[in-house]
Structure 1
Amino acid sequence: MSDLKGQLTLRGVVVGCVGCVVITASSVYTALRMGALPWPIIFAAIVSLFFLRAVSRGRSTLNEANVTHTVMSSGAMVAGGLAFTIPGAWMLGLADEISALDLAVIAVGGVVLGLVGSVLLRRHFIEEEGLEYPIGQAAAQTLKAGDAGGATGRRLFGAMGAAGLYALLRDGLGVIPSMLAALPVPGVAFGIYNSPLSLAVGFLVGTGAVLVWFAGALIANFGIIVGAPALGLCDVATAQAVVSSLGMGLMMGCGVAVIARDILPRGLAGARRAWAARRDAAGVVGLTAASAASARPAPGHARRRSAGVAALAVAAVALAAATVLGLPPAVAAAVVLLAFVAAAMAAQSVGQTGIDPLEIFGLIVMLLIAAFADVAPARLFFIAALVAVAAGLAGDVMNDFKAGHVLGTSPRAQWVGQAIGGVVGALVAVAALEALLAGYGPDAFGPGRDFVAAQASVVATMVGGIPHVPAFAVGLAAGFALYLAGFPAMMLGLGVYLPFYLSFTGFLGAMAKVAWGRVGAWRRRGMAPEERAAAEAADEERGLIVASGLMGGESIMGIVLAMIVAGGALLS
C-alpha cells in the first residue's frame, strides 16, 4: 500500500466525491439538454488543486491533486453513458419498463466493466503504444503549470482564459456562431466547428493520425454520400446508411483486433507463467514450508489474486444482467465480452483523437445482439447503456492514467480513486435521471422537446437493426485486417462515422501544427546545432501548453455553463 500513501488521501477522497456529485449531476443535464458533454477532467484538475491547497495549507502534492481530480471527474462519463441511451426508451413509450433498480445495475455494472477493462488496457496503450491522450496530457500540464506558475503558468492560463471567453460568447451569449463556412451539401454536415478545443485536439494528436482520420471523412462523405448518388448507384439516404454501418464496422473490427492480438495473448501468457511458477514451487522436493513459500513469487501471487477478483466482478455483472435486467444468460455473457471490446475501442479512440463516442460503441453492441438474438426493445436499451457506461469510463480512466504517467502518479492510486468516483457518479447519475423523468415526464425528451437528447434519439431510431448489414460486415473485416497490418483503423473508422465538420476542424488543427513547425524552423535558421535543438524543444513545449490551455478553457466554460443552466432549472 506504500504507493497509495500521500496520493490517495481521505481529504482528497472527500473533496473528489463532493465535486463528483456536482459534475455528474450537471453532466446529466448537459447531455440531455445540449446533446453534448465536454470533458470535465481539466476543470476537475484545477478545482482539486485549489481546494487541496486550501484544506492542506499548501502541503498537498501534484500526485494527490491528480488522484483527487480522478475521483472528481469519474461520474461524468457514467452520466453520459446513461443520458445518451436510456431516454431513447422513454421516447418510444417504454418508461414504465425501466426501473431505478435497472438503471442502478446498468450504471454500477458498466463502471465495473470499465474499471476491469482499463486494467487490461493501461500498459498496452499508455506505455507500449504511447498514444497521445491529448485530454490527459492537458490535465497534466494544467496541474504542473498551476503548481509552478511563472511563464508556463501565464501561457497556459492565458490561453485557457481566451478559450473560455470565446466559448462564453458562443454558447452562453450567442454572439458568435458555432459553425463557420457551412455549405448545403446534400447528406454532408459540411463546415468548420467554431471550437478552440477541436482545433487543439488536431494540433495535439499528430499530423499522420489526423490525416488518416480526415481521409476517412473524405471517403465517406464525398466518395460515398456525394459520389454514389451522383453516379446513380443509390440515393442519399442509402449512402448515409452505408457510411454509418461501414464506420461502425471499422471501429468494431479494430476493437476486436486489439483484444485478440494485444490483450488476450498477454493475459494467457501471464496465466501460463503463474501456473508454471505454482507447479515448480509445488514440485520441489525437500523444501521446508518456509522455503516453498519463498519460492513462489509474490508478484505472481498478487496478480493471480487480482485476476481472480476481476473475474468474480465480471461474473457478478453478467449474473446481474441476466437476473435483474432480464437478459437471457447467453446474451448477458455476450454483452459482457463485447463490453471489453468496446472499452478497447474507447481507449484507442480517446488516445488518438481525444473523442470518446461512447454511445456509438453501445449502439454497435446493441445492434449486434439484436441481429442474432430475440431481445425485447427495453432490454436493447439496457445493453446499449451498459456498454456505453463501460466505454465512457474506460476512456476517462485512460485519460487519467496518461496524466498520471506524465506526473509519475501511482496507477493503483488512480484506479482506486476512479472506482470510488465511478460508484458515486453512478448513483448520482441514476438519481438525476429519475428526478428529471419524474419532474418533466417522458414526453419532455426528444427532438424539439425540452430535452433534445440527440444521441438517445439516434439509439431509439436504430433499435430496428443495423442500417446496412453488408457494409457493416465489410467494415468489420477491414478494421480487423487493417489493425493487424499496423494501419490506424480506428482513426479511419472515426473519420467515416463522425460528422464531417468535426473531422475537418481536427484537420485544420493539424495543419496549424504544421504551420507552427514551419515558422519555428524558419526562426531557428542559422543557430548552432545545440541551440537549435533547445529552441525546437522550447517551441514544442509552448505549442503543447497553448493547445492544452485552449482545450481546458472551452471544457471548463462548458461545465460552468452547464452548472448555471442546471441550477436555474432546479430553482425554477
Structure 2
Amino acid sequence: MEEKKFQPYIPADKVVPEFTVFSVILGALLAVLFGGANAYLGLRVGMTVSASIPAAVISMGVIRFIFKRDSILENNMVQTIGSAGESLAAGAIFTMPALFMWAAEGLCDVPSMVEIGLIALCGGVLGIMMMIPLRSALIVKEHGTLGYPEGKACAEVLMAGEEGGAKASTVFWGLGIAAIYKFVADGLKLFPSEVDYTIDAYKGSGFGVDVLPALAGVGYICGPRISSYMFAGSTIAWFVLMPMIALFGSDLVIYPATMSVAELWADGGTWNLWSKFIRYIGAGALAAGGIISLIKSLPMIVRTFVAAFKDYGKGSAGVLRTEQDISMKVVLVVCLAIAVFMWLFPSIPVSFIGALIVLIFGFFFATVSSRMVGLIGSSNNPVSGMAIATLLIATIILKATGSTGASGMVGAIAIGSVICIIAAIAGDTSQDLKTGFLLGATPKKQQYGELIGVCVSAVAIGAILYLLNAAWGFGSEELGAPQAMMMKMVIEGVMGGEMPWALVFTGVFIAVAIEILGLPVLPVAIGIYLPIHLNAGIMLGGLVRLFVEKRKYASEKEKNDSIQSGILYTSGMIAGEGVVGILLAVFAVLNINTDISGIISLGNIGGLAFFAVLLASIIFFCNKGKKAAKN
C-alpha cells in the first residue's frame, strides 16, 4: 500500500522533541496574532491570508536561529498551533458580524463576548474532531492524488531550513523576493495588485489577473491540470453567464439587485454583475459539487470509519508513532457532547434541530473542505461559498419548522457560523496533518496542538470583534465585512421569501452537467465562484509548471530536480506574501500608511510587467536546479 512505501523525513521509529512547553506557548501567541490580523483583513477586503507557512517561517527563525533549538517537529508544532488562529478568525468574520448589524437595526441584542467565544470554540473543536477520521483516507491513502499545496510547501520550507545549503537558499530567495514584491504592490501601492479590464465590445464580460506571488506559487505547486479546471469555471462565469445576463436582462431588475442590469453595468461594470448574480450561481455549483464529491467519497469514508473503529478499539499499543490519532471513541463523544451543549446552553441560540443540522452538515463540509484544500490550498478554499450553501439549507429548515423572524435569523447565523468555522478549521487541520505526514510528526500530538490553538483563538476572537466594531462598525466604509453582508442578505432573502433560487439552481445544474462530462466538479465550481482575476494568477503559475515539465532533460533526475527547485522557490513565495500580508494588516490596525501611489504609480502595465518578471524568476530557479543536477 502507498502509505507503507512513503518514508517521512523523520522515521516513525525515531523520537524527537515535538509537543513541548516552548512550542505550545509560541504557537498560542502566533494564533492570537494571526487571528487578530486576519480578522481585520477579512472584514476589510473579504479574504484572509493563510498563516501556516508564515507561522513556520517565524517558528524557524525563533526556535532555530534565536534559541538554537534544532527539532523540525517542534517547529511544525508551532505552525500547527499558530495557524489555527487564522482559520478560526476566517470562519467567524464571514458570519458573526451579521449579528452586530442586526443589533444596530434593533432586530436582536448585541452578541456577548461569551456567546461569540463559545460559538467559535464549538465550531473549532468540531472541525478538528470531524477531520480526524478522514486523515487516513485523505492524507495517507490519497497521498499521490491530493497535493495539499500549502501543506507541502510548509514541509518544504521546514526541511530546507533543517538541511540548509542550496535548498534553504532557494526557499529564502523566494521568500525575500515575494516579500519585497508584496510590499511594493500592496504596501507602497506602486502598481495595483489586481489588473482589471472590461471588454466593452462584449458587454458583460471582463478579464484581469491578480498579480500576486502566492497565486503564482499555488498554481505552480497545484500544476496545470487543477489550475485549468479552475480557470475553466471562471471562463464559464465571465465569458458566458455574465454576457448572457447583460444581453437578455438589460432592462430587467433581477433580485437580489435593486436596479436594472444595464444600470448595474453602468454603475460598477463586471464586478456588479459578479457580486449580484454570479456568486449565487457559484454557491449553487459549490453546494452541488460538494454533495457529488461526498457521494463519490462515501465508500472510502465508510471504510475509513470501519477501519478506524477497529484500530482505535485496540488502543495505540503497537501502532507506529506516525499513525496514532485521537481515539475514535473520544471523537464521537466530544462531537455529541458539543451538539448537546449548543442545544441546551442559553448563550448559544441553537435549537435541537439546529444542533442536528450542525452535526450533519458540519461533517459534510468538513469532508468537502478537507478534500478541496488538498486540490487548491487553504488560501483559495471558498469557505464563504460553503457557508452560503449551509445558510440556504438551514434557513429553509428553520423556517419550515416555525423558527421565523429575528429569532430564526439569529439561529440561522449561529448555525452558519459554527459550520463555517468547522469548514475553515477542517481545511487548516488537513494542511497541517499533511505537513506532519511528510515530516514524520505524530498525528495525535498535532491534533492536540490544533485544539490548543482553537481554544486560545476562541477566547480572543470575541474581544477582537468587539474592538473592531467599536472602532469602525461592521458594514462601514472602513470595515465593509463583504462576506457577512452577503450572509445577512441570504438569510433575510430566504426568511422574506425573496431568495434568487433561479440563480442558485443554475449553478446546481451546471455542476451536474460538469459531472456528466466526467470532469472534477469542485475545481470548476470554485472557478465559477471566485473572480477570474484570482484564477488567472493561479493559471499562469500552472502554465509555468507545464513549461518546466515539458522541456527536454538529459535524465529523469535532472527533470525532477528542476521541478523540485521550482517547488522550493514557490513555497518561499507563498511564505513571503503571507508574512507581509500579516504585516500590512498590523499596519492597517495601527493606522500606519505606506501608500505612495499619489506620488508615483506604474499602473496596470507596471503590474503586468512585474508579474512577468516574477514568473520568469520561477523558471530561473528551476534552471538552477537543473544545473545543480548536471553537476
TM-score by length of structure 1 reads 0.85
CA contact (8 A) 1:274 1:304 kept: no
Q: Offset at 1:513?
A: 1.8
Q: Which moved more, 1:403-412 or 1:75-84?
A: 403-412
Secondary structure of the 2:209 match is strand
Change (3 A) 1:65 1:464: same
Secondary structure of the 1:169 match is helix
> Residues 152-167 of structure 1 correspond to what in structure 2 (within 5 A)?
152-167=167-182
Cα distance in 1, alignment partners of residues 352 and 100 from structure 2: 25
RMSD (Å), alpha carbons: 3.2
Cα distance in 2, alignment partners of residues 232 and 29 from structure 1: 37
Change (3 A) 1:234 1:62: farther
* Residue 104 of structure 1 pairs with residue 117 of structure 2: yes
1:120 to 98, 120, 133: 133
Q: Which moved more, 1:375-384 or 1:77-86?
A: 375-384
Q: Offset at 1:44?
A: 0.4
Residue 88 of structure 2: aligned partner:
78
CA deviation vs aligned residue, 1:363-417 (integer Å, no higher than 9, x gap): 2101111123224222222122111111111111111112112212222221111
Cα distance in 2, alignment partners of residues 243 and 435 from structure 1: 33
Change (3 A) 1:297 1:483: farther
CA contact (8 A) 1:4 1:412 kept: no
Secondary structure of the 2:197 match is strand
Q: Which moved more, 1:116-125 or 1:190-199?
A: 116-125
Cα distance in 1, alignment partners of residues 525 and 55 from structure 2: 30
Cα distance in 2, alignment partners of residues 162 and 414 from structure 1: 31
Residue 64 of structure 1: aligned partner:
74
1:81 partner amino acid:
G
Consecutive unaligned residues in structure 2, runs of 5 or more: 1-11, 256-272, 593-631
2:480 partner amino acid:
V
* Residue 454 of structure 1 pairs with residue 482 of structure 2: yes
Cα distance in 2, alignment partners of residues 187 and 33 from structure 1: 27
Change (3 A) 1:312 1:116: same
Secondary structure of the 2:466 match is helix
CA deviation vs aligned residue, 1:2-33 (integer Å, no higher than 9, x gap): 99862111211111112222222222222223
Change (3 A) 1:420 1:336: same
1:74 partner amino acid:
A
Residue 42 of structure 2: aligned partner:
31
Q: Offset at 1:476?
A: 4.4
CA contact (8 A) 2:294 2:368 kept: no
Q: Offset at 1:494?
A: 0.4
Q: Offset at 1:543?
A: 1.3
1:149 partner amino acid:
G
> Residues 429-444 of structure 1 correspond to what in structure 2 (within 5 A)?
429-437=461-469, 439-440=470-471, 444=473
Q: Offset at 1:160?
A: 1.2
CA contact (8 A) 1:253 1:478 kept: no
Change (3 A) 1:154 1:212: same
CA contact (8 A) 1:3 1:410 kept: no
Number of residue equivalences: 538
Q: Offset at 1:303?
A: 9.8
Q: Offset at 1:332?
A: 1.9
CA contact (8 A) 1:362 1:386 kept: no
Residue 348 of structure 1: aligned partner:
371
* Residue 190 of structure 1 pairs with residue 207 of structure 2: yes
Change (3 A) 1:194 1:235: farther
Residue 185 of structure 2: aligned partner:
170
> Residues 180-329 of structure 1 correspond to what in structure 2 (within 5 A)?
180-183=195-198, 190-230=207-247, 243-263=278-298, 266-267=301-302, 270-271=305-306, 306-323=327-344, 324=346, 325-329=348-352
Secondary structure of the 2:327 match is helix
Secondary structure of the 1:373 match is helix
> Residues 359-398 of structure 1 correspond to what in structure 2 (within 5 A)?
359-374=384-399, 375=403, 376-398=408-430
Cα distance in 2, alignment partners of residues 32 and 477 from structure 1: 32
Cα distance in 2, alignment partners of residues 362 and 43 from structure 1: 26
CA contact (8 A) 1:229 1:235 kept: no
Change (3 A) 1:474 1:310: farther
1:418 partner amino acid:
E
Cα distance in 2, alignment partners of residues 505 and 341 from structure 1: 30
Secondary structure of the 1:418 match is helix
Residue 285 of structure 1: aligned partner:
none
Change (3 A) 1:477 1:321: farther
Change (3 A) 1:9 1:182: same
CA deviation vs aligned residue, 1:476-500 (integer Å, no higher than 9, x gap): 4775796699641110110111112
Q: Offset at 1:235?
A: 5.5
CA contact (8 A) 1:16 1:72 kept: yes
1:314 partner amino acid:
C
Q: Which moved more, 1:329-338 or 1:370-379?
A: 370-379
1:415 to 447, 451, 471: 447
Cα distance in 2, alignment partners of residues 70 and 167 from structure 1: 24
Change (3 A) 1:70 1:226: same
Residue 336 of structure 1: aligned partner:
359
2:388 partner amino acid:
L
Q: Offset at 1:52?
A: 2.0
CA contact (8 A) 2:284 2:508 kept: yes
Q: Offset at 1:254?
A: 3.1
Cα distance in 1, alignment partners of residues 306 and 174 from structure 2: 48
Give aligned-pair identity as a percent: 25
Secondary structure of the 1:57 match is coil
Q: Offset at 1:166?
A: 1.0
Q: Offset at 1:539?
A: 0.8
Cα distance in 2, alignment partners of residues 481 and 310 from structure 1: 37
Residue 281 of structure 1: aligned partner:
none
Residue 87 of structure 1: aligned partner:
97
Residue 565 of structure 2: aligned partner:
542
| Structure with more helix by fraction | 1
1:430 partner amino acid:
G
Cα distance in 1, alignment partners of residues 33 and 354 from structure 2: 35
Cα distance in 1, alignment partners of residues 310 and 545 from structure 2: 50
CA contact (8 A) 1:200 1:551 kept: yes
Cα distance in 2, alignment partners of residues 246 and 155 from structure 1: 41
Consecutive unaligned residues in structure 1, runs of 5 or more: 279-292
Secondary structure of the 1:463 match is helix
2:561 partner amino acid:
A
Cα distance in 1, alignment partners of residues 245 and 471 from structure 2: 44
Cα distance in 2, alignment partners of residues 268 and 314 from structure 1: 20
Secondary structure of the 1:27 match is helix
CA deviation vs aligned residue, 1:49-96 (integer Å, no higher than 9, x gap): 2222357533x3111211121011111110111112111232333562
CA contact (8 A) 1:367 1:465 kept: no
Q: Which moved more, 1:536-545 or 1:29-38?
A: 29-38
Q: Offset at 1:426?
A: 1.4
Change (3 A) 1:55 1:15: farther
* Residue 47 of structure 1 pairs with residue 58 of structure 2: yes
2:457 to 419, 425, 433: 425
